[in-house]
Amino acid sequence: MSLISSAHAADVAAAAAPHQNGFGSFIFIIGFFIIFYFMMVRPQMKRAKQHKNLMSNLNVDDEVVTNGGIAGKITDVQDDFITLKIAENTTIKVQKPAVSQTLPKGTL
């Protein structure tokens, strides 16, 4: 009999406990998304903007490195492709987005 009465008392106590209004949970979720934006989304957007500017500013005689690690000097720039001179009598054609960085003049 004491088992049933203690279980009934626990149900009554749980029902009588004050409920949170959910505002604290809402603030927590909003805070989580703000932190997520500043730690993940914003830096990625900044890098994408820098890479887009890099691709639009590629010119002949710029020295670049591709994502694959190939370093060369640009000999021709087209809409979507560039031609790189990687050695004497050796040129390759790569897509502009494959360029990861430009090098200072005279590096190669």
pLDDT score for 108? 84
CA distance 88 to 61: 15
Least confident window among 23-27, 29-33, 60-64, 101-105: 23-27
Residue 13 has pLDDT above 60, yes or no: no
Tell me the whole-structure pTM to 2 decimals: 0.64
d(C-alpha 67, C-alpha 54), whole Å: 13
Whether 8 shows a pLDDT value over 70: the answer reads: no
Banded pLDDT at 48 (limits 50, 70, 90) = very high
| Band of residue 24 on the pLDDT scale cut at 50, 70, 90 | confident
Angle at 87 between CA 57 and CA 58, to 5 degrees: 5
Query: Mean pLDDT score of the chain, rounded to an integer?
Result: 85
Q: How far apart are CA 87 and CA 71, in angstroms?
A: 10
Bridge partners, 103 (sequence order): 63
- C-alpha count within 13 angstroms, C-beta hemisphere, residue 49: 6
Q: Left (φ > 0), alpha (ψ -120 to 50) or beta: where does 22 sit?
A: left
At residue 6, does pLDDT exceed 70?
no
Query: Do 97 and 53 touch, CB atoms closer than 8 A?
Result: no
